[in-house]
Amino acid sequence: MNPIKIVIAGPRGKMGREAVKLVEVTNHFQLVAVIDKINDGLKLSSIEGFQQKDVPIYKDPEKCFQLETPDVLIDLTTPDVGKKHTKLALQYGVRPVVGTTGFTEDELKAVQTLSEQKGLGAVIAPNFAIGAILMMKFSQMAAKYLTDVEIIEMHHDQKLDAPSGTGLKTAEMISVNRPEKRQGHPDEKETLDGARGAVYQGIPIHSVRLPGLVGHQQVMFGGDGQALTIRHDSFNRASFMSGVKLSVETVMQDNNFIYGLENIIE
Ligand code: NAP
């Protein structure tokens, strides 16, 4: 069987570096090029930390897709760039695996439509950590019985979007099992804007941004005389790579658009 030809966008980033390692140690994966905003035309091996990687760097994703004809794009960049890359990948017949967060509902629908038109698999996963998926699933289960809930998501202070994709996705999943209701007192007033967090279908999501953190979330449920906290911690970016691997394998076999790893893991 031929290896899966992969392009990684954002290889110098914290996630991108882990993804380069993942591809290197996976026998049936082959890195054919990277997309970066600097070092166009150079080899990745000329960049510190990548001495063994003799693949070209492209600034222009279209040129990369045309010349390298990869099977899969792994995008780990920034919200605006990731959205552009995802669309271009599908237009050029490349299956996107996107960890970049910040897609709105309309933008996700547009990716789904394009994936259907092209008959190509695509995965957008706000969180590639298997433990985080379980946290979301357990929270969805708990919301059937404990309908009072708030979410606290905590990330490093270089994160560009808030709330996190995982926080929003958790609220969406909880909403499936919880009738919409505004958490807190009906007459509560914020004396400082934002004190009660961002609200999705009545569920407050509080975003913490601090250096030293990676990706953490706790979902807090309250009931009469009791509380339940479901918490997940990613301590480093390696925690996300088993989900990236699974997603690459999935887009090669499944020609549908999948949003969220929970739709792959049963
Ligand atoms: P990061 O360290 O800032 O890496 C982002 C990389 O993208 C940087 O190297 C940046 O280059 C590069 N970049 C920016 N514009 C680009 C362009 N036009 N073409 C190619 N590369 C470009 O961030 P990170 O922590 O690795 O996270 C990357 C993304 O993954 C973020 O959206 C984050 O929210 C998301 N994330 C997802 C998961 C998940 O499980 N799904 C987990 C963690 C993070 P410069 O540094 O030169 O700007």
Q: Tell whether ligand 1 has an atom less than 6 A from the beta carbon of residue 127.
A: yes
pLDDT at 131: 94
**Nearest ligand 1 atom to alpha carbon 38:** 47
Per-residue pLDDT, 223: 97
Q: For the chain, what is the mean pLDDT?
A: 96
How are strands ordered across the β-sheet holding 226-234?
Answer: 198-200, 203-209, 148-155, 215-223, 226-234
Mean pLDDT of 51-56: 86
pLDDT value at 266 more than 80? no
Of 60, 75, 77, the one to substitute when testing ligand 1's pocket (max ligand atoms within 8 A of C-beta) is 77
| pLDDT digits 0-9 by tens, 61-103 | 999 999 999 999 999 999 999 999 999 999 999 999 999 988 9
CB of 7 closer than 6 A to ligand 1?
A: no
Q: What is the pLDDT of residues 127-165, one digit of tens each?
A: 999 999 999 999 999 999 999 999 999 999 999 999 999
pLDDT-derived band of residue 1, with 50, 70 and 90 as boundaries? confident
160-180 pLDDT, tens digit each: 999 999 999 999 999 999 999
Counting from 1 in the atom list of ligand 1, the atom nearest the Cα of 17 is: 26
Q: For residue 158, which atom of ligand 1 is closest to its CA?
A: 3
**Nearest partner of 169 among 107, 246, 105, 227, judged by Cα:** 105
pTM of structure: 0.87
pLDDT tens digits along 3-12: 999 999 999 9
Helices (H), the chain: 14-25, 61-68, 79-91, 105-118, 130-142, 165-177, 241-253
Q: pLDDT band at residue 200, thresholds of 50, 70 and 90?
A: very high
What is the per-residue pLDDT for 56?
97
The pair of structure tokens assigned to 192 is 């400082």
Check if 17 has its Cβ closer than 6 Å to any atom of ligand 1.
no
Residue nearest to atom 3 of ligand 1 (CA): 13
- Taking only the tens place, the pLDDT of each residue in 205-238 is 999 999 999 999 999 999 999 999 999 999 999 9
pLDDT computed for residue 49 by the predictor: 87
pLDDT of residue 53 exceeding 90, the answer is: no
Is the C-beta atom of 103 inside 6 A of ligand 1? Answer: no
Interstrand relation of 257-259 and 4-9 (parallel, antiparallel or unpaired): unpaired
Higher pLDDT, 50 or 6: 6
Nearest to 251 by CA among 145, 117, 98: 98
What are the residue numbers of the active site?
Answer: 155, 159
- 15 marked as part of a ligand binding site: yes
Sheet holding 95-98, edge to edge: 57-58, 29-35, 4-9, 72-75, 95-98, 122-124, 257-259
Q: Is the CB of 11 under 6 A from ligand 1?
A: no
pLDDT, residue 139, reads 98
